[in-house]
Amino acid sequence: MKRKSLTKKQRVEIFDAHSGRCHICTRRIEAGELWELEHCKPLWLGGADEPENMRPAHIKCHAVKTAGEAATRAKSDRVRAIHLGIKTQSRNPLPGSKASGWKRRMDGSVVRRDAQ
Ligand SMILES: [Zn+2]
């Protein structure tokens, strides 16, 4: 996804709109401290790439937040893939499981799953 780049003016406006506070640790961003604009609702969660969804944050706070989200993001991707029916097939499925392609009937006979 292409991210919009903001003008200097827009960055100053967003900074002022949040009274120059880091939205993660709520501490003031002091002169000379490194900060960047952060998406309040992450893009991967459907957040808008718009100034209204952006908050100033210290670079350090932001890095910690991004790292903390990695597991959640991966899980959300996996759940979504399952929802969409995208499966990765196991190379050696567990014998007797659905993925093996075989099933045992109530009478004990073993048949292919597609066979009725
Ligand atoms: Zn901070």
Q: pLDDT tens track of the chain, all 116 residues?
A: 567 788 899 999 999 999 999 999 999 999 989 999 999 888 888 888 888 899 999 999 999 988 888 888 899 989 999 999 987 777 888 888 888 889 889 999 999 988 65
Give, in degrees to the nearest 5, the angle at Cα 16 between 13 and 20.
135
79 and 107 in a single domain? The answer is no
97 and 47 in a single domain? The answer is no
Rama region for 75: left / alpha / beta (φ>0; ψ in -120 to 50; rest): alpha
> Ligand 1 centroid to 94 CA: how many Å?
48
> Ligand 1 centroid to 95 CA: how many Å?
52
Three-state secondary-structure class, residue 109: coil
75 and 94 in a single domain? The answer is no
Total number of residues shown for the chain:
116
DSSP letter (8 states) at residue 53: G
pLDDT of the residue at 115: 62
What is the tally of structural domains in the chain?
2
Q: Is 44 within 8 Å of 73 (Cβ atoms)?
A: yes
> Ligand 1 centroid to 111 CA: how many Å?
61
pLDDT of the residue at 2: 67
pLDDT of the residue at 97: 85
> Ligand 1 centroid to 40 CA: how many Å?
13
Closest CA relative to residue 54, chosen from 103, 6, 112? 6
> Ligand 1 centroid to 45 CA: how many Å?
22
Structural domain of residue 58, as residue ranges?
A: 8-85
> Ligand 1 centroid to 49 CA: how many Å?
21
Closest CA relative to residue 39, chosen from 20, 66, 16? 66
23 and 73 in a single domain? The answer is yes
80 and 95 in a single domain? The answer is no
19 and 48 in a single domain? The answer is yes
68 and 41 in a single domain? The answer is yes
